[in-house]
A = this chain, B = another copy of it.
Amino acid sequence: MFRVMDQSEALQKLAETMAGEICLSENDPGAVMKRWRERFQISQKDLAKHLDVSPSVISDYESGRRKSPRVETIKRFVEGLIDMDAANGGRIAMALEKLVSPEIASDAILDSREFGVPIPSRLLVEKLDCKVLTHKSLLDRDIYGYTALDSVKAIVNLTPQQLLRLYGGTTQRAAILTNVKTGRSPMVAIKASQIGTSVAVKPAVVILQGVKELDPLAVRIADSIHIPLCVSSIQTQDRLTKELRSFEPP
């Protein structure tokens, strides 16, 4: 059922995707370089220090001053980001791996999408007709995509480790969970994924569907880890999936 990729293989895949996207960008490798650095939450200054160059070098690349950087430069840039992330526990890389190389194919995954451009999470929350329970002001934050899970199937079909990765490692994305009765288990899992890390890697927003009676613990967890928790009024999973599929970034 599942093909499990080991960690170094997944990291290599991530690195290749990053380098590949930079190379193949239409006109502006620099903009793609900047985007990846931002996704790793690393500053130009820190990256420059790590690569042993002056910060203006990074700025020149990302601004597009160099129209066509050399392969060696791209290699150092990509590996620098990954090495620095690894020195911080590697959580962002782990989260990003799933965008580039889905290692889990399961009918628990209803839908998964990458927008290509940052979108305020509020737009998705509104599309799914949600009531916002915590941290409403954080809905101005941008997301880059979403993963939608059938939480019942997820519990049956996925190992605890896989669940942890799916729930926790969706940085800068929305986690959408259907067929949720109280919201307790997902929120516990998401909180558990924060333990022992120096870098915040968590969903930008959690959207629950199917909630009959929301567990106050779920709300308290969302509040404590600063995640907007939203409950969709859409009654069926099929209907919610259809709304998701019809969501168009502006």
Query: Cβ of A19 and Cβ of B23 under 8 Å apart?
Result: yes
Instruction: Evaluate whether A1 and B107 lie within 8 angstroms (CB atoms) in the complex, with A15-B24, A24-B19, A24-B75 already known.
Output: yes
- How many chain A residues have a CB neighbour from B under 8 Å? 33
- List A12-39 residues whose CB lies under 8 Å from chain B: 12, 15-24, 29
Are B1 and A105 neighbours in the complex by a CB distance under 8 Å?
yes
Given the known A-B contacts A105-B2, A109-B3, are A71 and B69 also in contact in the complex, defined by CB atoms under 8 Å? yes
DSSP class of A's interface residues: helix, strand, loop or mixed? helix
Q: A71: which B residues are within 8 A, CB to CB?
A: 22-23, 29, 68-71, 74
CB-defined contacts of A18 to chain B, threshold 8 Å: 20
Q: CB of A102 within 8 A of chain B? A: yes
Sampled A-B contacts (21; CB under 8 Å): A2-B105, A3-B105, A3-B112, A16-B16, A16-B24, A17-B17, A18-B20, A19-B20, A19-B24, A20-B20, A23-B23, A23-B71, A67-B72, A68-B71, A68-B72, A69-B70, A69-B71, A70-B70, A70-B71, A71-B71, A101-B101
